[in-house]
Structure 1
Amino acid sequence: MIWFQAIINIILPVYFLWWAYKTDQVSRRLWFAEVLSGAMFIGFIFVISPWHIYFYYLRYVWLLLFVIAVVLSYQKVKDKPLKGPKNDGSYKFSMGLNVILAVYFGVFLSQGISGYFLNSSDREEAIELDFPLKDGVYSVGQGGAHTAINYHHSHPSQAYAYDILQINGWGLRANGLTPSENSAYHIYGQSLYSPCTGTVTAAVDEYEDIPPLEPPSEVEEPAGNHVIINCKDTEVLIAHIKPGTVAVEEGNEVESGDILGEIGNTGNTTEPHLHIHAERDGEGVPITFDGRFLKRNSLIFN
């Protein structure tokens, strides 16, 4: 998965940039079709790809370079005819292929963008919480209101769950792409703070960390070590806590900002991260932080 993602996030953008700069098409219509398919692809990876894996800020670099390449390539075709040769099979194939690619990537892009927004009823149901991590830059790996950017959305109780990681100054979530030690992930061991004032309804601290990037397996408790807080008539679950660090017990009253534990890698997880979701009567409730509804690739600066 990591290496396949490298093809999507790095190799293909390089190809599209090379094409956009080198293209010298026979018509402005074909040029536009190729620009459109390239734009849909760049938009697709900008929105859909989880950029904490490969240099988070590269997503903006690709976007900027693509715009520059398109502007430069237009200088080569601005004096070309609008339409290409009518009976040229190669021309028709190129047009058709680019239209198909534009539609294909455009569909995924539109799905991802649709997950950026809450409808009016979901916005009214949303619960405002304090962000439970401090002292760092955090990126949302899973988040949003569509499965294209948040796989949790297919599960009713976790429909608006977040998976959150910490990134360094280079935009990487770990020391390397696929480190085998939990300690190599920047978020591992970070202190967790209560996101609200309420009553602890569950506090579990009985599972050991698992090695990162192992295939997910069925476990007795997918959340691993976790804490559930009842606040504002809503159950807020914070999962995958480091063993031996859960600092509260069932029945405790907590204030927003109280220590809950540390980020670990327990339960059904592939690498250290914060999982948080809220539910009310078994249905997922959107979470906002400082009024923000987060989605994949959102950044939180604390």
Structure 2
Amino acid sequence: MTRFGYTLMTEQSGPKELVHYAVEAERRGFDFEVSSDHFFPWLKEMGHSPYAWSVLGAVAHATERVELMTYVTCPTMRYHPAVVAQKAATLGLLSDGRFLLGLGAGENLNEHVAGHRWPAVGERHDMLEEALVIIRDLLDGHDLTFEGDHFRVDSARLWDLPESRVEIGVAVSGPQSVSRFAPLADHLVATQPQRKTLERWAAARSDAGLTASRAIGQIPICWDTDADAAVQRAHRLFRWFGGGWHVNADLPTTRAFADATQFVRPEDVAGSIPCGPDLDAIVEAVSAFWEAGFTDVALVQVGDEKQQEFLDRAAEPLLEKLRDAAPAGEPV
């Protein structure tokens, strides 16, 4: 059965509001909650970017049932991978085993603040692979000394570990990243509902003698009782979304995203994000993920100003429609 999640969008809400929404989303019946991990919002109109790990620590204590996840953390520039492992282990304990560590190769927008040059994609994948080795070893409880091409670890050990090791999901986008990271991660993370990506992932894991894994996707929606207002809000806050990972990973600032999207029209955004009160249209958009084989799909409701109304009025009937429409068995 497909699981449905709620996104704690740190780029559009403050920390206290995010904790409140997390509690409300659990109460409305979402299965899991994911948090972005940014230093910048995508556009200045979004207006926020609190520290995701502090927010998740508070959410872990404010909720009881939902699984929590970073979607996703880059463990290579702003954070050293050993520190990411420590943060993940601590959240595993605070959440009583409800935390899943989502990792990715990052975006220039968030990582340039550490003052390092932004590497080309191949080097970023080299760095992520080393980081994964370090994080896995530490989460497995090993004493670790490591010297690679990008990272060094000197006599590290995590002293507070949950009973069950924190599992790791890795964001992938193409054949090279799939074949490289499928043997190192526990689960796949992707934002495009492409069946071929999942098939390649499953084949790479099978070749490595590993079991099947979850595929965790994410989709923006812009629910509103007023369809025109929804389109305008989606355009104001989410017009960057259509650029795709290969563009979005390299732009360095909110100004760059504003310049890159200056000719995107509201109707362009409405063509890729379901906008308005029609819950069936949202279900149809989400269905592309379970049809591609995704096991989990997190929804992003666009706009802080409509989060509470979405949770109060739309979340429960939408979840009911999604669960009625999703296949009863495991996605393929």
- Taking structure 2 as the reference length, what is the TM-score of the superposition? 0.25
* Structure that is richer in helix per residue: 2
Structure of larger gyration radius? 1
- Taking structure 1 as the reference length, what is the TM-score of the superposition? 0.26
